[in-house]
Amino acid sequence: MKISTKGEYGVRAMLELAMEYGEGPIPLKVIARRQGISEPYLEQLMAILRKAGLVQSVRGAQGGYELAQPPEKTPVGDIVRALEGPVAPMECVHNPTSLDACSQVTRCAVQVLWQRLAAKMNEVLDETSLADLVRETKRLQARAGGYVYSI
């Protein structure tokens, strides 16, 4: 499975909201500018995330978007699945009873490999919260900023 720009941009937008969690809604244009994402495209993604219950929109002059729950309670897997659908490397894993997926599905030993891969992919996505990404972002920013010592 390859994550499309839909999934990538959605996770980045959600990380932007997580970085500012508790400080009120963030206008869509601010998220789009900070992340380098087209505002109309981001609007489509946020509509999907809102329907999935992951974000809330606030109308008005001070409006924008905010997380529906704290970053530590928002697994990245929920975001990816809301935008991309099931995380599975092969159709036969996502829909094992469909003969359209594969004519070999009832006797394919390789399917076990794909199932294990899907399980690990989902495990990583579900064990990683937005709070984990916030911590990693701050760590990377601190390292990139570095410290200058003079004597």
pLDDT tens figures, 95-142: 665 555 566 666 678 888 888 999 999 999 999 999 999 999 999 888
CATH (domain of 113):
1.10.10.10
Question: What are residue 129's DSSP bridge partners?
Answer: 75
The DSSP secondary-structure symbol of 65 reads E
Rg of the chain taking only CA atoms, in angstroms: 19
The identity of residue 104, as a single letter, is: Q
Q: Is the residue at 151 inside a domain? A: no
pLDDT of residue 149: 46
d(CA 62, CA 27): 8
> Considering the chain, what percentage of its residues have pLDDT values greater than 90?
66
**Residue 57's beta-bridge partner residues?**
65
Question: 42, exposed or middle or buried, with CB in 10 Å at 0-12, 13-18, 19+?
Answer: buried
pTM: 0.86
Looking at the domain assignment, is residue 150 inside a domain?
no
Provide the domain limits for residue 73: 5-145
